[in-house]
Amino acid sequence: MRRRQLLSYGAISLLTPWPNLLRASEGASPWLAPATSQSGQFKLAPQASQWQLAPELPSTDIWTYAENSFSPVISVQQGDTLDVQVTNKLMESTSVHWHGIRVPNNMDGVPGISQPPIAPGESFNYQFKVDDAGTYWFHPHINSTEQLGRGLVGALVVQESSYPVDRDEVILLNDWLVDEELNIIDQFSSPRDMSHDGRFGNVITVNGKYRPTFHLRPNERVRFRFINGATARIFRPSLPQQVKAYIIAIDGHPIEPKPYTGQLLAPGMRCDIVVDAGSTASETVMGDTAYEPTGICRWLVSGQAVRSAPLTNPPPRLSDNPIAKPDLNRAIDLELRLDGGAMTMAMMKGMQSGQYWYLNDQQIDQDTLLNKPLMSLQLHQSYRMKIVNNTRFAHPMHLHGHTFQILQDIPYWTDTALVMPGQTTEIAFVADNPGIWMLHCHVVGHQASGMMASIEVV
Ligand SMILES: [Cu+2]
């Protein structure tokens, strides 16, 4: 009975009372401590594990970075050196890509391009200085449809020297495609998913938990860091109108704080919001309104007040990260055309090759990414790139190694540009990080069927 209710929860509207079907999980994700305080080194061990999506339900076999845990949070200070020892306890090769944060090429975690794959039983040490503060995440960059689909995701939080909130919480969003026994359905690359909008799950979780509860105290100011770690689903985390919340960062980078009205987050995308808990005991359901509205988690305000009165000032603007600004007067123009997928002529060809997508009319073969970059960019040169989506589907296009601006009325920094069907998005950046970098759609089924190319910066 419970199980069926869990599987059909997608139909529950935000307007319905919070269903009291299950004992709620605690929402907060575990923040990893360094293995020893002297070394400051973190340890990740990708492995098969078991995980309960909700209390009282059977556990699910997942893949995770730590035993009996899901989506660990690694937190470091801006300017520190991140040091992570990854020991592969899976039966297949893996790697760790640090999504959104600028790293040297040999730390980018793309097997065959920036490092050898980490074979079963082997270790790899990721070590790099973190110049940018903000909310980032990590995941494998090999067999991505399956490795992400089974749960290999984690959060990377880079702290500013100080920011005036009482608490900092990660909300890593996922969806899981499970059967009635809560086993992950192990079809990760179906032609239908890959040629349409990717593999959607039927259970949405926050930090791996179905509809968990966060506990807040009266007058508390909390920073929530949303991360979309799903393989295909777009989220729009939404709050009831009476909640006082500000959005302060998009994809790790500061924006002018403004009231939060819901941010579209495609796979790979993040945003930071600051919430004021209110001065009395209350219950708030946070929903997702990207598709059919549904509740995703809630917070309860109770207990002793953090301060005698609520804070009334808006949260301050975060300091900008040290990213070189593109010079638009001298920028070289580039174009990236996205084609293919279901409901196009290219689909017929795709049915034979298993590759459904085209970048600049080329069917990108995974083996030639290294030898044949789609574009060759000059080091320190500014570029303006038009991303033209000629397909019927949305594509969050992610560039490694660089942070770029979305050119619009108020430009903002990001690493992932969500380009809607039929739309064109203009981005600009300085090619200031030498190496071969992936440029791909973060719907991982698209990435795996033609929508990943490399660019070189030399
Ligand atoms: Cu795509």
Question: Once rounded to an integer, what is the mean pLDDT over residues 389-398?
Answer: 96
Rounded distance from Cα 393 to ligand 1 centre (Å): 7
Tell me the pLDDT tens digit for each residue of 9-39: 333 333 444 454 455 678 777 777 766 556 7
How many Cα neighbours within 13 Å face the side chain of 391? 28
Rounded distance from Cα 48 to ligand 1 centre (Å): 28
Question: Once rounded to an integer, what is the mean pLDDT over residues 312-332?
Answer: 96
Rounded distance from Cα 88 to ligand 1 centre (Å): 29
Tell me the pLDDT tens digit for each residue of 241-280: 889 999 999 999 999 999 999 999 999 999 999 999 999 9
pLDDT value at 394 more than 90: yes
Question: Once rounded to an integer, what is the mean pLDDT over residues 130-142?
Answer: 97
Rounded distance from Cα 427 to ligand 1 centre (Å): 17
* Stretch among 136-140, 152-156, 185-189 having the lowest mean pLDDT: 185-189
Rounded distance from Cα 106 to ligand 1 centre (Å): 26
> Can you give the pLDDT at residue 405?
97
Number of neighbouring beta carbons within 10 Å of residue 322: 10
> Can you give the pLDDT at residue 35?
65
* pTM of the entire predicted model: 0.94
> Can you give the pLDDT at residue 37?
57
Rounded distance from Cα 196 to ligand 1 centre (Å): 9
**Per the structure block, which two tokens stand in for 231?**
């393989």
Rounded distance from Cα 61 to ligand 1 centre (Å): 28
Rounded distance from Cα 417 to ligand 1 centre (Å): 11
CA gap 436, 451 in Å, rounded: 16
Instruction: Work out the pLDDT band at 293, boundaries 50, 70, 90.
Output: confident
Rounded distance from Cα 218 to ligand 1 centre (Å): 42
Rounded distance from Cα 442 to ligand 1 centre (Å): 6
Q: What percent of the chain has pLDDT over 70?
A: 91
Residue 432, CA distances (Å) to 104, 317, 318, 381, 420 in order:
11, 26, 24, 7, 28
> Can you give the pLDDT at residue 333?
98
Tell me the pLDDT tens digit for each residue of 430-451: 999 999 999 999 999 999 898 9
Tell me the pLDDT tens digit for each residue of 51-106: 998 887 889 999 999 888 888 899 999 999 999 999 999 999 999 999 999 999 99
Rounded distance from Cα 396 to ligand 1 centre (Å): 6
Question: Once rounded to an integer, what is the mean pLDDT over residues 318-327?
Answer: 97
Rounded distance from Cα 451 to ligand 1 centre (Å): 7
Question: Once rounded to an integer, what is the mean pLDDT over residues 144-173?
Answer: 94
Question: Once rounded to an integer, what is the mean pLDDT over residues 302-319?
Answer: 95
Rounded distance from Cα 458 to ligand 1 centre (Å): 27
Rounded distance from Cα 398 to ligand 1 centre (Å): 10
> Can you give the pLDDT at residue 25?
72
Rounded distance from Cα 428 to ligand 1 centre (Å): 20
In the structure, ligand 1 is a single-atom ion and the residues with CB under 5 Å from it are: 395, 441, 443, 446
Residue 230, CA distances (Å) to 152, 285, 402, 414, 445 in order:
10, 21, 22, 18, 11
What superfamily in CATH does domain 332-457 come from?
Answer: Cupredoxins -  blue copper proteins (2.60.40.420)
CA gap 41, 82 in Å, rounded: 8
Number of neighbouring beta carbons within 10 Å of residue 19: 11
Rounded distance from Cα 312 to ligand 1 centre (Å): 41
pLDDT value at 231 more than 60: yes
CA gap 311, 397 in Å, rounded: 38
Q: Which residues pair with 441 in a beta bridge?
A: 397
Look up the CATH number of domain 2-301: 2.60.40.420
* Stretch among 35-44, 112-121, 394-403 having the lowest mean pLDDT: 35-44
> Can you give the pLDDT at residue 8?
41
Rounded distance from Cα 161 to ligand 1 centre (Å): 36
Q: What percent of the chain has pLDDT over 90?
A: 76
Rounded distance from Cα 339 to ligand 1 centre (Å): 10
Which position has the token pair 């992936």?
438
Rounded distance from Cα 3 to ligand 1 centre (Å): 32
CA gap 343, 347 in Å, rounded: 7
Rounded distance from Cα 446 to ligand 1 centre (Å): 5
Question: Once rounded to an integer, what is the mean pLDDT over residues 33-54?
Answer: 84
Rounded distance from Cα 324 to ligand 1 centre (Å): 28
pLDDT value at 282 more than 80: yes
**Per the structure block, which two tokens stand in for 68?**
């009996």
Rounded distance from Cα 123 to ligand 1 centre (Å): 31
Question: Once rounded to an integer, what is the mean pLDDT over residues 127-152?
Answer: 96
Residue 174, CA distances (Å) to 64, 320, 389, 440 in order:
13, 29, 25, 20
Rounded distance from Cα 95 to ligand 1 centre (Å): 22
Rounded distance from Cα 54 to ligand 1 centre (Å): 31
Backbone angles phi, psi at 349, to 5 degrees: -65, -40
DSSP annotation string for 26-71: B-PPPBPPPSSTTT--EEE--EEEEE-SSTTS--EEEEESSTT--S
Which residues in the chain are classed under CATH 2.60.40.420? 2-301, 332-457
Rounded distance from Cα 166 to ligand 1 centre (Å): 38
CA gap 203, 60 in Å, rounded: 12
* Stretch among 164-178, 211-225, 366-380 having the lowest mean pLDDT: 366-380
Rounded distance from Cα 142 to ligand 1 centre (Å): 17
Quickly count helices (H) and strands (E) in the chain: 5, 30
pLDDT value at 367 more than 80: no
From the list 172, 266, 293, the residue with the least C-alpha distance to 224 is 172
Backbone angles phi, psi at 249, to 5 degrees: -155, 145
